[in-house]
């Protein structure tokens, strides 16, 4: 059974239909890259899976449970699926450790001492065990994004959604974040990432989804999609990306 | 006829100023608490409650405090509730303060980046948790200066309650004038006492604003 089952999902912003019927099944442990031009609906799809945007039609099942707009259902969903954002969105008034600890303590009502332990472990996992007490504005962009990953991991999600998580980073900081993502993939975490890092997608992902004008235009294993693009749109997109 | 010294005047006004201070404190504290409730309704998820809160704020911002005071004092009497001027003054000023503080704070809450809401949502937090642990701690730093600044308006607003016979500083000024026939001296002292109450609050607001805007943000 797929971990995330997306069936004929449609999403409209006013007159603009951003998603025109997306169907996609994601198996547990799969690493999926979603590529495509800006405006093709990649980020919207990701935000729909997490319930940050409501869908107009179709269905999304996560772990066999329907995504519905009720608050309680959304909360249950978000315990299963973590999300990492382009702009990190760390809580600036809390230290790195505080950022990681907040949600387990507030949402799962975990006690402070074991949560601090957990936070320490999660920060070590992203290579930032020594930055427990640092505040977000004392960290580099790459470090902030790694704290954001640790923060999501602390909720022990079944899948992580990554929305262009390296796009706001200086080029020299991209590698450290991708290394963390790669290690997560190696540990069997289910990952759905919207990305512009084609080389990374080719290296790490099981399947690549090319989105074009609100539809899944082409889908397949990276060697196939990158080496042998079937549609002119993908050929053009890859040509542009390579150039 | 009795002669009144300046000290007699000042002493009596200072005694009355205690009520101005007490009424200000009650209005500010109770208004702050109620204003927080209005803020949660105003920024919350329920559309109906948001509308109610907005209506409340607009009503109290769009009518003179004096009318609100009259309505509290005479309106409650009409429905058989005989309230003392003190109670009517406290209730009216509390409701008025709550409306203004809720609106000030709403601006501060909305100044917090949308990404903070999205990140905390995606971590499974509900609205109240997001407000309590993520948004308000950040909004507080922006809210502090205008909130303290507004307390000046509350202190000055208490003067209106003299109309319904509550003996605070302004009413005492009238009473003392009627006894001494020295309106200029008496109201001059009244004004000075108001200034002595309000000026430190304005200064505090400015200091807070400067300090929070300084480069160092937490720790």
The answer to whether the beta carbons of residues B94 and B31 sit under 8 Å apart is yes
**What pLDDT is attached to residue B1?**
56
The answer to whether the beta carbons of residues A61 and A5 sit under 8 Å apart is yes
Report the alpha-carbon distance of residue A196 to residue A150 in Å, rounded. Answer: 22
Report the alpha-carbon distance of residue A93 to residue B214 in Å, rounded. Answer: 15
Tokens linked to A226: 């990158």
CB distance A71–B129 less than 8 Å? no
Tokens linked to A115: 């949560």
Q: What angle do CA A31, A35, A39 make, to 5 degrees?
A: 135
Chain B contact for A102 (CB, 8 A cutoff): yes
Which of B113, B126, B138 lies at the smallest CB-CB distance from A93? B138
pLDDT in tens, B149-170: 999 999 999 999 999 989 999 9
pLDDT in tens, B190-203: 999 999 999 999 99
Give the number of other CB atoms < 10 A from CB of residue A91. 22
Domains of chain B plus CATH, in order, are 17-217 (1.10.3720.10)
B133 vs A contacts (CB less than 8 Å): 102, 106
Residue B111: strand, helix, or coil: coil
Which of B115, B138, B219 lies at the smallest CB-CB distance from A89? B115
Interface pTM, i.e. ipTM: 0.91
**What pLDDT is attached to residue B218?**
52
**Rounded mean pLDDT of A148-172?**
94
**Rounded mean pLDDT of B32-58?**
96
Report the alpha-carbon distance of residue B117 to residue A70 in Å, rounded. Answer: 17
For residue A81, the number of C-alpha atoms closer than 13 Å in the C-beta half-sphere is: 33
**What pLDDT is attached to residue A110?**
95
pLDDT in tens, A100-116: 999 999 999 999 999 99
- Cut 0.90: pTM above it: no
Residues 6+ apart with CB under 8 A from A69: A51, A54
Chain B contact for A91 (CB, 8 A cutoff): yes
CB distance B217–A83 less than 8 Å? no
Residue A17 exposed, middle or buried by CB count within 10 Å (0-12, 13-18, 19+): middle
Query: Which residue, B160, B16, B38, B164, is CA-closest to B93?
Result: B160
Share of chain B above pLDDT 90, in %: 83
For residue B80, pLDDT over 90 is answered with no
Mutate to test the interface with A, among B112, B120, B124 (most CBs of A within 10 A): B124
Task: Chain B: give the shortest CA distance to residue A48, in Å.
Answer: 11
For residue B81, pLDDT over 90 is answered with no
Separation of CA A156 from chain center:
14
Residue A41: strand, helix, or coil: coil
CB distance A92–B134 less than 8 Å? no
End-to-end CA distance of chain B: 65
**What pLDDT is attached to residue A71?**
75
**Rounded mean pLDDT of B121-132?**
94
The answer to whether the beta carbons of residues B147 and B101 sit under 8 Å apart is yes
Nearest CA in chain A to B133: A102
Share of chain B above pLDDT 70, in %: 96
**Rounded mean pLDDT of B131-154?**
94
Tokens linked to A112: 């402070």
pLDDT in tens, A203-243: 999 999 999 999 999 999 999 999 889 999 999 998 855 54
Q: Left (φ > 0), alpha (ψ -120 to 50) or beta: where does B75 sit? A: alpha
Can you state the percent helix, strand and coil of chain A, rounding each to 5?
40, 25, 35
A148 vs B contacts (CB less than 8 Å): 119
Tokens linked to A23: 């169907």
CA A162 to each of CA A4, A191, B153, B217: distance values in angstroms, whole numbers, following the listed order: 15, 7, 48, 29
Residues 6+ apart with CB under 8 A from A192: A4, A26, A32, A34, A46, A49, A159, A160, A161, A162
CB distance A106–B121 less than 8 Å? no
For residue B219, pLDDT over 60 is answered with no
Q: What is the dihedral of CA B45, A90, B140, B118, to 10 degrees?
A: -10
Which of A90, A107, A137 lies at the smallest CB-CB distance from B124? A107
Tokens linked to B24: 């200000």
For residue B219, the number of C-alpha atoms closer than 13 Å in the C-beta half-sphere is: 12
């Amino acid at each position: 059974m797929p971990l995330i089952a997306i069936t004929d999902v449609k999403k409209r912003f006013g007159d603009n239909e951003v998603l025109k019927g997306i169907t996609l099944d994601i198996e547990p442990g799969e690493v999926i890259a979603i590529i495509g031009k800006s405006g093709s609906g990649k980020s919207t799809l990701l935000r729909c899976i997490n319930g940050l945007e409501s869908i107009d039609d179709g269905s999304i099942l996560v772990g066999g449970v329907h995504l519905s707009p009720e608050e309680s259902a959304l909360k249950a969903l978000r315990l299963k699926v973590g999300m990492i954002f382009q702009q990190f969105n760390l809580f600036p008034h809390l230290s790195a450790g505080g950022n990681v600890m907040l949600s387990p303590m507030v949402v799962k009502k975990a006690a402070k001492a074991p949560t601090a332990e957990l936070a320490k472990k999660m920060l070590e996992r992203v290579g930032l065990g020594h930055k427990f007490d640092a505040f977000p504005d004392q960290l580099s962009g790459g470090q902030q994004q790694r704290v954001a990953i640790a923060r999501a991991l602390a909720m022990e999600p079944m899948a992580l959604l990554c929305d262009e998580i390296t796009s706001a980073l200086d080029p020299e900081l991209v590698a450290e974040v991708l290394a963390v993502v790669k290690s997560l993939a190696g540990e069997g975490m289910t990952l759905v990432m919207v990305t512009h890092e084609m080389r990374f997608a080719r290296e790490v992902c099981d399947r690549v989804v090319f989105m074009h004008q609100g539809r899944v235009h082409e889908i397949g294993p990276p060697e196939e999609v990158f080496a042998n693009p079937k549609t002119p749109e993908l050929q053009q997109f890859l040509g542009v990306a390579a150039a | 006829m009795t002669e009144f010294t300046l000290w007699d005047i000042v002493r009596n006004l200072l005694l009355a100023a205690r009520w101005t201070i007490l009424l200000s404190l009650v209005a500010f504290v109770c208004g702050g608490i109620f204003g927080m409730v209005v803020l949660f309704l105003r920024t919350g998820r329920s559309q109906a409650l948001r509308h109610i809160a907005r209506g409340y704020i607009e009503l109290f911002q769009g009518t003179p405090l004096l009318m609100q005071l009259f309505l509290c004092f005479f309106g409650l009497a009409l429905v058989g509730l005989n309230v003392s001027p003190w109670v009517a003054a406290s209730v009216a000023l509390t409701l008025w303060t709550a409306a203004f503080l809720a609106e000030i704070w709403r601006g501060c809450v909305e100044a917090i980046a949308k990404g903070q809401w999205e990140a905390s949502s995606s971590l499974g937090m509900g609205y109240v948790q997001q407000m309590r642990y993520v948004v308000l701690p950040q909004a507080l730093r922006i809210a502090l200066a205008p909130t303290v600044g507004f307390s000046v308006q509350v202190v000055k607003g208490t003067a209106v309650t003299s109309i319904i016979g509550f003996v605070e500083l302004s009413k005492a000024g009238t009473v003392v004038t009627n006894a001494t026939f020295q309106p200029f001296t008496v109201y001059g002292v009244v004004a000075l006492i108001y200034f002595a109450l309000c000026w430190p609050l304005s200064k505090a607001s400015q200091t807070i604003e400067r300090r929070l805007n300084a480069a160092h943000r937490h720790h």
